[in-house]
């Protein structure tokens, strides 16, 4: 299934030159098709938090995570998966550690905002799940990320409604 999903996403990029937010629960800034952002019952859901090269610190995206924490606190049956990734620079072992550290940074921030730790699942994929394959440091920004997947009480992904919201962008 993962191979099929990855193939469909890569095919959609090849055909259209952009990435569908709905296809992968992610917002990839300029690579996204239009100005779409995930909105759930009037709440903004930040599907991706990007990181600078070789960094694991949050900078300008804390406001988006505050909104995620607010949504999760208001809906106690919802949970979140935080999946950290890295680009293909560096060795696999280091990228694994960096990806997991990125997921932990986001999870720890959500916990400081009042979200219980048992509602957060973290995972690091290293550089094994690139969104794009490139040696360009700027293009690889989409691979230096954590994805936030909204989960139900059973820890399975929930359906999301996508509306056009020009005022939000997680990949700045």
Outline where 17-163 has alpha helix (H): 21-24, 62-74, 92-112
- Rounded to whole angstroms, how far apart are CA atoms 72 and 66? 10
pLDDT 10s digits, 25-37: 444 444 444 443 4
Strand order in the sheet with 79-84: 48-50, 145-151, 79-84, 120-124
Q: What confidence score (pLDDT) does residue 35 get? A: 40
Q: Summarize the confidence of residues 20-47 as an average pLDDT.
A: 51
| Highest-pLDDT range among 36-40, 95-99, 133-137 | 95-99
Residue 130, φ and ψ in degrees, nearest 5: -70, 145
Distance (Å, whole) CA 17 – CA 39:
24
pLDDT digits (tens, 9 = 90+) for 156-165: 888 765 554 4
* In contact, 76 and 94? CB cutoff 8 Å: no
Q: Is residue 90 left, alpha or beta, with left meaning phi > 0 and alpha meaning psi from -120 to 50?
A: left
Is the pLDDT assigned to residue 153 strictly greater than 60? Answer: yes
Residue-level pLDDT at 118: 96
Yes or no: say if 105 and 56 are a contact pair by the CB < 8 Å rule.
yes
- Compute the average pLDDT of residues 67-74: 91
């Amino acid at each position: 299934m993962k191979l099929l999903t990855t193939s469909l996403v890569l095919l959609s990029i090849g055909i259209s030159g952009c990435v569908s937010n709905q296809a992968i629960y992610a917002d990839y800034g300029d690579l996204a098709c239009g100005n779409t952002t995930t909105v759930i019952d009037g709440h903004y859901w930040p599907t991706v938090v990007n990181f600078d090269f070789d960094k694991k610190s949050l900078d300008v995206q804390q406001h988006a995570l505050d909104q995620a924490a607010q949504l999760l606190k208001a809906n106690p049956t919802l949970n979140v998966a935080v999946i950290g990734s890295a680009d293909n620079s560096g060795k696999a072992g280091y990228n694994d550690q960096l990806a997991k550290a990125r997921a932990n940074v986001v999870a720890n921030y959500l916990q400081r905002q009042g979200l219980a730790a048992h509602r957060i699942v973290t995972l690091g994929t290293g550089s094994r799940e690139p969104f794009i394959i490139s040696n360009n440091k700027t293009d690889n920004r989409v691979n230096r990320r954590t994805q936030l997947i909204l989960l139900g009480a059973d820890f399975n992904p929930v359906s999301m409604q996508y509306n056009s919201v020009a005022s939000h962008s997680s990949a700045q």
